[in-house]
Amino acid sequence: MADRASDADIVSIPKVELHIHLNGSITEATALTLARRHGVDPAEGLKLVDGRYPGRYPNFEGFLDAYLAANQFVRTPDDLELVAAEFARGQAAQSIAYSEIIFTAMIFVRNGMEPASMWAALRRGLAVGGPDTRISIVVDAIRDLGAEEAAATVRLVEAADAPIVGLCLTGIEGTMPVETFLPFRADARRLGLGFTVHAGEMGPPESVEASLDVLGAERIGHGVAAIRDPALLERLIRDQVVLDVCPSSNVGIGEYPSLEAHPMTEFWRRGVRMTISSDDPPFFGTTLTDELRHLVRIAGLTRGDLITLQRRAIDASFADAATRAAVRARIDAWADA
Ligand code: ADE
Ligand code: ZN
């Protein structure tokens, strides 16, 4: 049997990350910098953020408190450029050749940012990673906020000058019937964009089924609830449905007691077509490199498996053909070296 992948392999392989929220990539230090920049009273605003990045939360709502607190300080295009540049530098430092970032544009618009300046700041910040750190954007609507929020999101996307490749539904499953988002799904088709849905994260297996059958999701964010439904698991394996799995995030909101108890190992062994991502990395005390380390340590992936995982991720991305070919060539070159 081949040896498990070495740490040097995990660090150096050109990586692909499909499920990472820019809004969830604001570090604690940057949140505090921005709070001070805006003269937020430390006794009030800062206490929402300061020391609130434990990596573990009692539940999803606990995570959301810290996440929304950090996001409220990103108010100007300069703030967003800082967040995006820090993000891009971090991806470059991890040899992440392609990232698909989930971007909740409406949060920043509600914070007072003018849309054209917001997109320009985002482009400037993301460019800091350099040409080998390709980054595309998937714009999400928070499902709890309903159909009008989704429609407003689409209007922003239609007017945007930015490398947007998809739409996404995030937020708390079950807060709205999935049919609420049929127009959002139709808009993705009309605009030629990919479509992905967070499902089976805290919600039940039926939430994954509805995302596939009602909304025609092309990828599922998380999908870990499928482990509780043998028929659904069989279907995901048979149809090779792509699940963008974020282990530390699921543990961090209390869905699983440990990474060892997380379904990633069984998914891998059974042949679920999963990709690995970090979701909201500083909030869960992780990085993509760390997530891959966990999978290699717990499920025993080899160097070849690691290559398979990255090839699979770029093939499942919403990137254009030229980008996919360029990233695949980098992975192939690394594999042959
Ligand atoms: N928004 C940011 N992170 C999220 C997650 N893990 N689930 C749903 N919505 C999110
Ligand atoms: Zn997510």
Ligand in closest contact with the CA of 60: 1
What is the reported pTM? 0.97
Determine the pLDDT at residue 56.
83
Atom of ligand 1 nearest to the CA of 170: 9
26 token code pair: 């604001």
Q: What is the 3-state secondary structure (H, E, C) of 221-247?
A: EECHHHHHCHHHHHHHHHHCCCEEECH
Residue to mutate (ligand 1; options 248, 279, 284, 291; most atoms within 8 A of CB): 279
pLDDT at 156: 98
Give dist(CA 244, CA 266) in Å, integer.
15
Ligand 1 atom closest to Cα of residue 246: 6
Question: What's the CA angle centered on 163, arms 99 and 221, to 5 degrees?
Answer: 45
**The pLDDT value given to residue 62:** 87
Cα angle vertex 255, ends 251, 256, to 5°? 60
What is the position in ligand 1's atom list of the atom closest to the CA of 202? 7
Q: Which residues of the chain have pLDDT under 70?
A: 1, 41-53
CA distances from 154 to 12, 16, 142, 178 (A): 37, 26, 12, 17
What is the C-alpha to C-alpha distance for residues 266 and 245, in angstroms, rounded to an integer? 12
Q: Which ligand has the nearest atom to the CA of 169?
A: 1
Domains parsed from the chain with CATH numbers: 7-336 (3.20.20.140)
248 near 294, Cβ under 8 Å? yes
What Å distances lie between residue 22 and 26, 126, 132, 160, CA to CA? 7, 10, 19, 17
Which is it for strands 15-21 and 274-276: parallel, antiparallel or unpaired? unpaired
Instruction: State the Cα angle at 142 between 280 and 284, rounded to 5°.
Output: 15
Stretch (H or E) spanning 81 = helix 77-93
Question: Which atom of ligand 1 lies at the shortest distance from residue 140's CA?
Answer: 1
State the Cα–Cα distance between residues 143 and 174, nearest whole angstrom. Answer: 9
Pairing of strands 96-103, 243-245: unpaired
Rounded-to-integer distance, Cα 13 and Cα 324, Å: 16
- Active centre residues (catalytic): 201
- Tokens read off for 180: 């609420």
Residue type, 38: H
Cβ of residue 279 lying under 6 Å from some atom of ligand 1? yes
DSSP result, 267-307: HHHHT--EEE--BSGGGGT--HHHHHHHHHHHH--BHHHHH
- Answer yes or no: is the C-beta of 166 below 6 A from any ligand 1 atom: no
| Burial class of residue 61 (count of CB atoms within 10 Å of its CB; 0-12, 13-18, 19+) | exposed
Q: Separation of 144 CA from ligand 1 center, angstroms?
A: 11
In one letter, which amino acid is 210? A
Residue 58: predicted pLDDT: 87
Contact 306, 9 (CB under 8 A): yes
Question: Ligand 1 centre from 21 Cα, in Å?
Answer: 8
Q: Whose CA is nearest to atom 9 of ligand 1?
A: 171
| CB-based contacts of 232-240 (< 8 A; 24+ apart in sequence) | 232/205, 232/208, 233/270, 233/272, 236/208, 236/272, 236/273, 237/270, 237/271, 237/272, 237/273, 240/273
Least distant ligand from the CA of 201: 1
Rounded to whole angstroms, the Cα distance separating 33 from 18 reads 28
